[in-house]
Structure 1
């Protein structure tokens, strides 16, 4: 029975796109062929007579997704992180998509808390406010812990949201398969993969234990960052559908007037928010993936407070080192080195010409460096860089798309605080420090230490491994003993590595 339901949802989606004026915009963004455009507009034609739907002051696609409901709003927000799929203009429009929905009743909220935490809400909290924020997936209440009197924020999933999202996600998969079938050209955009990415994001956000874990990890990573705070997770009062954190008191990052009245230095705040993001991305490889003004406050002492950890970005250590070298190469205007790093990392196929690639990178960097400092954008640089590398055969990397998108958002936050913020002046010391700590001799020593520790774990198993390998080799090649030499050399190297590892562990030289 799922097929007919999905077809009906597809018809409903098409009707809403047409009534909001978004149908043509979407077809254009995905470069649909003429035949597909004719079919889509013909099927949607009867719905034009129902009148325009949604707020006419919104962009058409934003209006359509808002009218279609929570799952579509969240899908639009996720697509805003994928300019490689929807294009830069569409991604920019979707970034302003808001998911402010009518709240559900306080009685339903308390019922969810009691069902999840196993105690009456009034026993857990001495105060429990009406909703202070209501979004597509959850809403937030301000409360006070009965036992300690501490103010907390209680985030609660909307009733039935899991089932509603599951239905819409199934329809998204159906639509992706249908599009790939009727429009083979669309396969280059990998619609099904995009839906899988969205499915993964939503699955994480529908289990608030995972968001609690993200907040806890982020707080641990940033505990020593001056001028930055992450609210503390109250694990005792958190579960799958309820998340409780310490209350973040402060002025909204987007209210410059309130910040100025409170005596905060807007220029310093603008530089710090960018510096913190770069530090988290490079140093920790774990960054807030939705760092816009709505998810940031400024405490009375000037600290930046981050909250809402549903979307987090992760970059492995090797990739961080590569991209730090790339960014630093651009800052130094050493385009040949930037090109070499791409080839060394395997991002660009070896059959491409490194010198030609370096010239293409120069065409990206030089115009940006010719700009006034207030107009220089690292986000724009990364965007141009992705365009060039795509022409040279580099495949899209989702985690770096999120990094680029978040960089654009953070730059926007910094410039909204002070348009004169010099992006490169802020970035250079952060990237330079990371390069010195992660690519030099200290990094080599740490890498050797980590490798030795891993190899040392095999020490007790080494005799059995050697015996087993020798027995297998002899039984397979009894008449060719010379083939034992490569095995013997390999085992000798392993033994030496284990010896070095044991020595390092024993002497604590690092």
Structure 2
């Protein structure tokens, strides 16, 4: 019964904002609209994108969270809808403090006073998944306590099942196949269930803190692991000025130009050095201390890339900075992502159409986040599947660029990023060279193993050769090529000798 009532509310809200027309008007089922009485009345003249946002807001926190997740995938949405969904605010009316206290006590297996000498009854913030209270531990540490909403798992299960129902309706739309709504909802389901587990967020915060433990660029609050459980996250309370409060930062004599450059440095360090980046860096999650140091908050959404994606990204950045669209095209060709039926020259022409208009502008006037997004969209026209993590990263880059230029109108991303990237790549090449030298030492051993294989009975050859092959495959690409050539050359030589 509860599901039927909820479904009725969802359908009513869709009709209220006339999204039924958006869904059906371009399908073969559009005639159904003629039988709806409301079809003949104009209820709203609001733009389509605004109606979608209002629908999600009306349907509550889970749908808002879904809209926020969609906003990180502009590859799936028209520009107007993607932009509008970024306005969604994940805030909800707070639930009763006594319920929060009961959850804390049940989770920690004790009375509240066993763990805290102070627990503020008025929440600092209340969102779709959890509510945050300030507190002081019995050790005198100021902390914030993040408590998962009561019965939220049931609400998520219900609303996600309805989202799958809506996915079937969206599948009727001409763009349904391209949007692949079921896959998008499945991805969202995984994200939101991870956010329900405070241990995941605690682990993210701890890893990011470890990455920047000796850095003056970014401060990450410390997790209190003794008081953290699946339902409760207890983390150090930090104080600072929100990054978008420009006047307050000026009053505190914070160097805004330095701050903007450091923000870019933090981003590139996270991506290319640590390969672990904060993927929700909007102004509400970034504070600045009185000394001018960045402070990160909220670690529910983090990202990382495969080595292939990192190479793709790094080469694209260098090509942008050198204004060489041909290399941008070659990067896509080398990646192996382009289907065999695609004409490389046609693809290069498409890439040129994206890059040439921007290369006439000064570097400081170019949004590399927008250029990357345009490249992703162009690639998808050629059936190239860009990984969701790359879109997540690009969303983060757009946030960083926006904040950086808000702090400093003349921010030149290239001048700021170039020395950071060069330093990171030098260290990476040095590490790779050390690894190659280490792996080269294994080559004599592998050669001896080949000799032993040739002496063993024929039935054992396949298994032992397979083991050697697996060992070789663990080497990096350059070493693998070298070692494989030597290996097979020696193998052929010994076989020839045995035959002769």
Q: Same fold (TM over 0.5)?
A: yes
SS in 2 for 1:260: helix
State how many pairs are aligned: 469
2:38 to 45, 63, 73: 45
**Structure 2 residue 106 is the aligned partner of structure 1 residue 115:** yes
CA contact under 8 A between 1:342 and 1:348: conserved in structure 2?
A: yes
Query: What is the CA–CA distance in structure 2 between the aligned matches of 1:138 and 1:418, rounded to whole Å?
Result: 35
Q: Deviations over 1:87-135 (max 9, x none)?
A: 2321111112102211112211111110111121122111111201111
2:91 to 97, 100, 104: 100
Query: What is the CA–CA distance in structure 2 between the aligned matches of 1:104 and 1:451, rounded to whole Å?
Result: 58
What does residue 331 of structure 1 align with? 321
Distance 1:87 1:452, change over 3 A: farther
CA contact under 8 A between 2:325 and 2:356: conserved in structure 1?
A: no
2:124 to 129, 132, 138: 132
Which sections of structure 2, spanning at least 5 residues, go unmatched? 480-500
Distance 1:406 1:38, change over 3 A: farther
What does residue 143 of structure 1 align with? 135
SS in 2 for 1:336: helix
What does residue 418 of structure 1 align with? 408
Distance 1:249 1:137, change over 3 A: same
**Structure 1 residue 36: deviation in Å?**
4.5
Distance 1:206 1:362, change over 3 A: same
1:195 to 159, 180, 185: 185
CA contact under 8 A between 1:466 and 1:491: conserved in structure 2?
A: no
**Structure 2 residue 413 is the aligned partner of structure 1 residue 401:** no
Q: Describe how 1:144-223 pairs up with structure 2 within 5 A.
A: 144-147=136-139, 149-180=140-171, 182-183=172-173, 185-223=175-213
What does residue 508 of structure 1 align with? none
Q: Deviations over 1:394-428 (max 9, x none)?
A: 11311111111221122222222233322232233
CA contact under 8 A between 1:335 and 1:361: conserved in structure 2?
A: yes
Judge which range, 76-85 or 319-328, deviates more: 319-328
What does residue 60 of structure 1 align with? 51
Distance 1:83 1:498, change over 3 A: closer
Distance 1:100 1:83, change over 3 A: same
Which sections of structure 1, spanning at least 5 residues, go unmatched? 476-483, 502-510
Query: What is the CA–CA distance in structure 1 between the aligned matches of 2:194 and 2:439, rounded to whole Å?
Result: 32
Query: What is the CA–CA distance in structure 2 between the aligned matches of 1:62 and 1:44, rounded to whole Å?
Result: 24
**Structure 2 residue 26 is the aligned partner of structure 1 residue 33:** yes
SS in 1 for 2:385: coil
What does residue 376 of structure 2 align with? 386
Query: What is the CA–CA distance in structure 2 between the aligned matches of 1:208 and 1:443, rounded to whole Å?
Result: 35
Query: What is the CA–CA distance in structure 1 between the aligned matches of 2:149 and 2:74, rounded to whole Å?
Result: 29
Query: What is the CA–CA distance in structure 1 between the aligned matches of 2:124 and 2:204, rounded to whole Å?
Result: 22
TM-score between the two structures when normalised by the length of structure 2: 0.83
What does residue 70 of structure 2 align with? 79
What does residue 266 of structure 2 align with? 276
Query: What is the CA–CA distance in structure 2 between the aligned matches of 1:62 and 1:398, rounded to whole Å?
Result: 22
Distance 1:113 1:443, change over 3 A: same
**Structure 1 residue 363: deviation in Å?**
2.6
Q: Deviations over 1:352-397 (max 9, x none)?
A: 4444433432332232232244531011110111122223331131
TM-score between the two structures when normalised by the length of structure 1: 0.82
**Structure 2 residue 448 is the aligned partner of structure 1 residue 448:** no
Distance 1:37 1:74, change over 3 A: farther
**Structure 1 residue 63: deviation in Å?**
2.0
Query: What is the CA–CA distance in structure 1 between the aligned matches of 2:456 and 2:262, rounded to whole Å?
Result: 59
SS in 2 for 1:168: helix
